[in-house]
Structure 1
Amino acid sequence: MSDDLVVERSGAVATLTLNRPESRNAIRLEMYAELPALLRGIDDDPGVKVLVVRGAGTKAFAAGADISEFGRVRADAESARSYNEHVAAAERALEGMAKPTVAMVHGHCVGGGCGLALACDLRFCDTNAGFAITPAKLGLVYSLESTRRLVDLVGPAQAKWILFSGGRLDADRALRTGLVDAVTEPDALAEHTYSFAELVATRAQYSVRAAKQIVNRIVAGQLHDDAETTELRNSSFDTDDYAEGVRAFLEKRPPRFTWS
């Protein structure tokens, strides 16, 4: 793993930091290429229950892809195709994690940075945050998968405004449109984000991950239970956490869940 991606763990919460503060955490091709394996490792770590994704410092989550390397890594249709495949694989890996993910957005969140934030389950930002998706400023086309994530959050009309204009959404508009889920003052963002992550880490993890699967299936168009969702629900009754949850409720104490 390069120094441009840093993983740290505090208790059951892991943090993935885009670590290029000198370039407002602009994302290089190598970083996209490394993300799938790195995220699999976090998902496979039984000690991690929640992942927070952030940019180094407080000026930017990520200012987008590193355009300075486009002349080399996107010089023609063939290299651009390979580049796009790496970006898609990184975003899919983040979106596909079994564990819950939260993007913590200080400052600028643009282009490819916004793509990674959209692939997280939730997005918390500070009042200085600004969001933009800018293919129309570069003569590029946003992928269907990335566009789908945007439409799922803000709806088709707002998605068209964002993509047609390449315009910036401030924190208030991002909250109103559903692009983000919470806005705080800059000095309160980390406390708010990690308090939420630590709260989720105390919940029954089988329940949390099953809920994530089911919500994602609904977003993808599933309307009725099938064998897999029925099994998810029924299997919860066989877990130690179910027994502990009922016992803790009756004993009027916090539950001590162990499933990971």
Structure 2
Amino acid sequence: MKKDSLVVTKSNNIATIYINNLEKKNAMTLNMWKKIPVLLLDLENDQDINVVIIRGIDASAFSSGADIEEFAIERTNAVNALNYDTHVTNAGDAIENFSKPVIAMIEGPCIGGGGELALACDLRFSSVTGVFGITPAKIGLVYGVPQTKRLVHTVGPSRAKDILFSGRFFDAKEAYQIGFVDRVYKETEIVEETYNYAKLLVNRSQETIRGAKKITNSILDGMDESKYENEQIILNSYSAPDIQEGIAAFIEKRTPNFNRSKVGQ
């Protein structure tokens, strides 16, 4: 297994993307940033996958950020830096625009580029071991616009400024209090609870979930340009198989059995 790689496993309609660079606490290399859109395209087209979880290869770290040692090679001038930043932005956009739910399962450090990955996800679940920080102020970089927007949307403008101005680290308790993460679990519970939640989403209407994700994202983006598209998403749901099954199950007092294979067809 390549030491700086992303490893994908699939089971029970859930895909897991493992960040694997343990020698550097799962720091993200340029090749790893490039790989994220490729992997997500494969998972987008996989009708058997309904939920994606991103996590570290073990419990020691989610990701300590971008591999700073690469900066001396990949960010030696403005042209190279723009190329590097473009791949980082593409990775975040690929996660955000992925039609299916993406959950960041965080254990240990979630710093810098690790925070960028987590913020692009739909939900962030942390162990009590989670340590957070966005640290460009410590090396003289300016955080990118898409990344800053996600941070502001998640924690609000003044807290985003605090995090960016100071570059300080904060623990899982504070991360939860300011809305950076959605749930905090004990070390012994984080894996089971995250996958149990993913299994819950697998059994919900994928028509509803994907429509809700798209509409929520368009609201955050201002919505105007996608207003008609959002109306169509809602109208289309009334003729999709899920609503018929959902209503029938309600009347018959049983658990709905949504036919996932027809979603998006």
On whether the aligned pair clears a TM of 0.5, the verdict is: yes
Describe the shift of the 1:160–1:229 C-alpha distance in structure 2 as closer, same or farther (beyond 3 A): same
- 1:47 offset after TM fit, Å? 0.5
For residue 113 of structure 1, what is the aligned residue in structure 2?
A: 114
Distance 1:224 1:175 in 2: 33
1:69 aligns with 2:75: no
For residue 217 of structure 1, what is the aligned residue in structure 2?
A: 218
Distance 1:39 1:135 in 2: 27
- 1:18 offset after TM fit, Å? 0.5
| Structure 1: segments with no counterpart, 5+ residues | none
- 1:226 offset after TM fit, Å? 3.0
| Structure 2: segments with no counterpart, 5+ residues | none
Describe the shift of the 1:225–1:83 C-alpha distance in structure 2 as closer, same or farther (beyond 3 A): closer
Distance 1:207 1:98 in 2: 11
1:32 aligns with 2:36: no
For residue 88 of structure 2, what is the aligned residue in structure 1?
A: 87
Distance 1:217 1:21 in 2: 36
- 1:222 offset after TM fit, Å? 2.7
For residue 24 of structure 2, what is the aligned residue in structure 1?
A: 23
- 1:221 offset after TM fit, Å? 2.1
1:86-145 CA distance string (max 9 Å, x none): 111111111110001000000100000110000000000011101100000011010011
For residue 47 of structure 2, what is the aligned residue in structure 1?
A: 46
Tell me whether 179-188 or 225-234 shows the greater mean CA deviation.
225-234
Counterpart secondary structure, 1:84:
helix
1:156 aligns with 2:157: yes
- 1:225 offset after TM fit, Å? 8.5
Distance 1:51 1:244 in 2: 25
- After TM superposition, the runs of 4+ consecutive aligned structure 1 residues lying more than 6 A away are none
Describe the shift of the 1:224–1:97 C-alpha distance in structure 2 as closer, same or farther (beyond 3 A): closer
For residue 187 of structure 2, what is the aligned residue in structure 1?
A: 186
1:176-206 CA distance string (max 9 Å, x none): 1000000000110011110111100101101
For residue 8 of structure 2, what is the aligned residue in structure 1?
A: 7
Counterpart secondary structure, 1:60:
coil
Distance 1:129 1:254 in 2: 36
Tell me whether 216-225 or 160-169 shows the greater mean CA deviation.
216-225
Counterpart secondary structure, 1:186:
coil
For residue 99 of structure 1, what is the aligned residue in structure 2?
A: 100
Opposite residue 142 of structure 1, the aligned amino acid is Y
Normalising by structure 2, what TM-score?
0.95
Opposite residue 177 of structure 1, the aligned amino acid is I
Distance 1:103 1:198 in 2: 15
Distance 2:108 2:242 in 1: 39
Describe the shift of the 1:231–1:190 C-alpha distance in structure 2 as closer, same or farther (beyond 3 A): same
1:234 aligns with 2:235: yes
Distance 2:88 2:2 in 1: 17
Distance 2:79 2:183 in 1: 40
Q: Give the root-mean-square deviation of aligned CA atoms.
A: 1.5
For residue 134 of structure 1, what is the aligned residue in structure 2?
A: 135
Normalising by structure 1, what TM-score?
0.97
Opposite residue 68 of structure 1, the aligned amino acid is E
Distance 1:38 1:225 in 2: 27
